[in-house]
Structure 1
Amino acid sequence: MEKIPANKLAKYISLASIGTLVEWYDLFVVGVAASLIWPTLFYPKGIGAAALAASISTYGSIYFTRPIGAIIFGHFGDKIGRKTMLIWTLLLSSIGMIGMALTPPFVSIGLLAPILILIFRLIQGIGLGGEYGGAATILIEYTANTNRRAYYSSFLQATVPLGALFAILGLFLGRTYMTAAEFATIGWRILLGIGAVALIIGGFIRYVLMESPLFQELLKKKEIEKAPVTTVLKEKWKTMILLGLSWAYIVTIFAIIYFPTGLSYMASLKISLGIIYSGLFAGAIGGIIGNIVGGRLGDIIGRKKVMIISAILTAIFSYSYFPLVGIKIATSIILANFLLNFSYFLGYGVVAAFFTEHFLTKYRYTGAGFSYQIAAIVTGIYTSLLLPTAIVVSRGIISAVPYIIVMSISLVIIAILSLIPLKETKNISIS
């Protein structure tokens, strides 16, 4: 097997991961804003739980436009090249972030405020939808001739909790050095702006990223697929649906338990802000460790086994999360967040390898990207429809906990049933 020079590997991982890093940084910053700030900033006063539900729905709306971005950027990524599309995905995402950061409050522009927030969130979703498929594809194709594809790509996956870690740090500093009113007015906007600038800089830096060697071979042989979307849907539609459903438990449970729901739950229990951020920090650390361990295990025992183990552990720790947090002491809150994140990010560590290995180079960007974003539809349904409904019907986040646990278990069952018919890809040759 070919050994990749450490400096080249580090460069590819870094440049491929910038979008994923900022994406999840953004999810945390916007998650905090949607949970604690937007309901009173962008919606009429006096509507209580309805404002929180509407805010969380807007937060989750991004998941409905991500599949659109996956199709658009995947199509051109398989025809023009991975690198070019990976530049445009970052720039489009930054437009959405800047737009949200600059949207005036409800008292200034009335109902136009929540409408603008929703529009910019949807625009951002299109950009982010095309990001992951390209990043995972170019990284896997670069490491195609190694026997550590899952391990190497797990560093791309680890930028998810790493991005969350940066967001937690930014949020903690913002709340430490600003009053609550200052943070609600300008603090969260500054954090979003920082993320947008990072995306723009990342887009320009990606000019130095060499094109995928496997895609360059297709160009030389003049074997570029004319209609990658049509072809991959015709040949691999069942695989794409199963792959999408197989990892939906990871991103959805992250959203409906850990963040922003977990944040709202802890705040409702009157837990101190310092302990809340300690728990979120521990969760991010657990996610980083889980990703790397999962990637290494994926190269040893196989991608499917790792994801099934992850799903089972996630069911267990989803059930125990709220009772542990309910004890209201730092140790139990830190443990709850660490275990939950370790469990589902264990499976996430093999997702980049598992998904891309199912598709040929001629439509890998499209196939892997769209498969990945199918889970976004599931997440959108749970976060924008089911979760807000549970909160409203239960008249608050605390009373909605039994519904949230049932939703989490259902996602795990869907994942395991989807994984069973999928083939193991650990030993296949990438071409």
Structure 2
Amino acid sequence: MIASTIALYFYTKNLLKNEVEEELFSTEARIESAIKINDISFSLPPVIEVVEVKELEELFLKDTLIYDPSQNEDEVFRELSTFKRINGKNYRITVRNLVVESKDILIAIDVSYFIIILLVFLFLFYSNVEGNRKLWFPFFKNLEAMKNFSVKSEKQIVLVDSDILEFQELSNEISLLTNKVQDDYQNLKQLTEDVSHEMQTPLAIMQAKIENIINTNKIDDDQYKLFSSLQKDIQRLKQLIKRLTLLTKIENNQFINIDKVDIAASLGKTIQNFKELFNLEIGFQYKHPLFVSMDPYLVEVLCNNLISNAVKHDVKKDEILVSCSHNSMIISNSGEKQIENPEKLFNRFYRESKSNQSTGLGLAIVKKICDLYGFEISYKFHDARHIFTVNFRI
């Protein structure tokens, strides 16, 4: 655009110059013809001057400045001076014509090019924006649908068709993939539920038969220890299945019974149950109720798992401390050293203790419950105590 502007400037300037000179020659020819016919010489200074001279010379063209009274300034004129012998007399015929100044030409070209560039820019910008919007609309619409997609939902993903071949192929592949993922998830969910349900019955039968053998047959101490160990393993397996089923239900968001529940009251009941079962010292402090909106059953699970975890890992058998504030609860128990990998503490089946009493799922369930309701759970080791804090963000 810059190069064409420069070229246009010189081309226009040269064109106007040629036009002015052509007009000068035309005017000079008319004056010469008039003198020949009428033998009259006339002048209109400074535009036309006809003067008799002694000798003839070569014509010449030049630019000259002449004062313009209408503009009160000097203007550039193009001047043509020719020498002719007419009717036996020598004449110098001078014709002048006002020329367009270079500054005016440059301003006109710059303004016109600026307007053209602006219009072209606006047109291209609008056309590109609108074109890209229409072109990419199916892509971004489908991207939004993918962001909102969940394997837990039974609804299939709804995608927008596109005239672009690549976008349409992508939509088709996404539809096939999400449908397969949903089917696989539902099949896995159903398998987990079926296995959990079906395993409860044979485990209960096995446990009943072992109890029957112990009660109805004379067995020695070694046999009694063996059967007792089997009972504990069966009970642990039942507990494991129960907790895995609970985790699956939490992940599937199957607990939809939301109610205002007093965490402090639920903690009090759980603490009383543990005191009766294990004859423990559990200190409980709270000043006022702590109401939270969540499923009542999950409140019991949350409190039970945290206190159970404290009981199982209270190595020094010191007092377990539980407290409630206006928006959080804290459970702490004694410990010999800090947990080596606290970042893995809430992972499934992670256990630093080799105790058979733990399934490695209690804290994972606690973390899932907190994530479900937007609570924040944290762990720290301070003054030889393991401290768990749940912030309810009320």
More contact order relative to length (CA 8 Å, sep ≥ 6): 1
Larger Rg: 2
Q: Shorter-normalised TM-score: what interval?
A: under 0.3
Q: Which protein has the bigger helix share?
A: 1
Q: Report the TM-score, using the length of structure 1 for normalisation.
A: 0.21
Q: Which protein has the bigger strand share?
A: 2
